[in-house]
Amino acid sequence: MNFAEVLDRAWQIVWKHKVLWIFGILAGCARGGGGAGGGGGSGWRADQPFGANTLTTAQQTFNALSQWVGDHPWIIVLFVLLILVLAALAVFLGTLGRIGLIRGAFEADGGAEHLAFGTLFRESLPYFWRVFALSLLIGLAFLIVFLPLVVLGFVTAGVGFLCVLPLLCVLVPLALAAGILIQQANVAMVIENLGLTDGVRRGWEVLKRNVGPLLIIWLITALIGFVGGLLIALPVLVIVIPTVIGYMAAGQQISWAFLAIGAACLAVYLPILLVASGILIAYIESVWTLTFMRLTRPKESAETPVASPANA
């Protein structure tokens, strides 16, 4: 397989069809989340040490929050429901985003000149449950395997981790293989319209026959994802770290000013972060889709006649 051709073609597709950036943003919904919080309170005294100031403020904030929640227990129910709704929405949009990227890369590589968001979204819906079911089954399988190991480690104060260390050395390669299998099975289910079982079987077939090329693609995409993610997150660190230091080191009034400035900077950078993350995810998913297509397309016949110049 021509790795350079796959990487270059994936970038051409993602750059030309910018609608894939939107699906990349959606796919990012199912890849993790983050939260931010800030706290501040009264009782800040300049004559206290820096650490005492921080602990006092945090303790007072926590006590006030605990009292408020205790007076309004219904807020816990609403909070749990909100988390469940947001999680379900993230899974739904993230799954459709991944499917849309697969279909978009497939159609673009096939010669499509224009990709419409609405069309890709509708075309992705029939594949939702099979792609979601595969991720759910793999997740449950790893939960069943890893959860007892984690519990054993905590119960035995860490001794259990040492006992199962050889097993963990085996599980890590299995986790890597499972990740590649999921990638190939998802592409197979979407572009070959296979069911869950047939898609997994097809993905396993591709993985078994092309371990070397798939490992190279995994290394390349892992490196791209790590470097790209680091560059995207760097401005957030540049904003957050000085804000937190300024908040803890300054007086009460100035502390809120630091938080306001930091929040404003994050709000300005958020659209850039979303777009950059969407491009990165769209590119990596396109690379995996094209990899499957290149590894499974029929080989050109070696007996294809070669045109020769006519003799004068």
DSSP the chain: --HHHHHHHHHHHHHH-THHHHHHHHHHTTS----------S---TTS-HHHHHHHHHHHHHHHHHHHHHH-THHHHHHHHHHHHHHHHHHHHHHHHHHHHHHHHHHHHTT-S---HHHHHHHHGGGHHHHHHHHHHHHHHHHHHHHHHHHHHHHTTTHHHHHTHHHHHHHHHHHHHHHHHHHHHHHHHHHS---HHHHHHHHHHHHHH-HHHHHHHHHHHHHHHHHHHHHHHHHHHHHHHHHHHHHHHS-HHHHHHHHHHHHHHHHHHHHHHHHHHHHHHHHHHHHHHHHHHHHHSPPPPTTPPPP-PPP-
- Whether residue 40 is contained in a domain is answered as no
What is the pLDDT, as a whole number, of residue 62?
59
- Whether residue 45 is contained in a domain is answered as no
68 — pLDDT class (breaks 50, 70, 90): low
Give the total number of structural domains in the chain: 1
What is the pLDDT, as a whole number, of residue 307?
41
- Whether residue 306 is contained in a domain is answered as no
- Whether residue 43 is contained in a domain is answered as no
> Percent of the chain, pLDDT > 70?
71
- Whether residue 99 is contained in a domain is answered as yes
Q: Please name the residues in contact with 56: beta carbons below 8 A apart, sequence gap of 6 or more.
A: 43, 44, 48
- Whether residue 52 is contained in a domain is answered as no
78 — pLDDT class (breaks 50, 70, 90): confident
Amino acid at 5: E
132 — pLDDT class (breaks 50, 70, 90): very high
- Whether residue 46 is contained in a domain is answered as no
- Whether residue 54 is contained in a domain is answered as no
Domain enclosing residue 287, as ranges? 3-30+76-296
Q: How many CB atoms lie within 10 A of CB 130?
A: 21
Point out the least confidently predicted range of 2-11, 45-54, 296-305. Answer: 45-54
Give 121's Cβ-side CA count (13 Å radius): 11
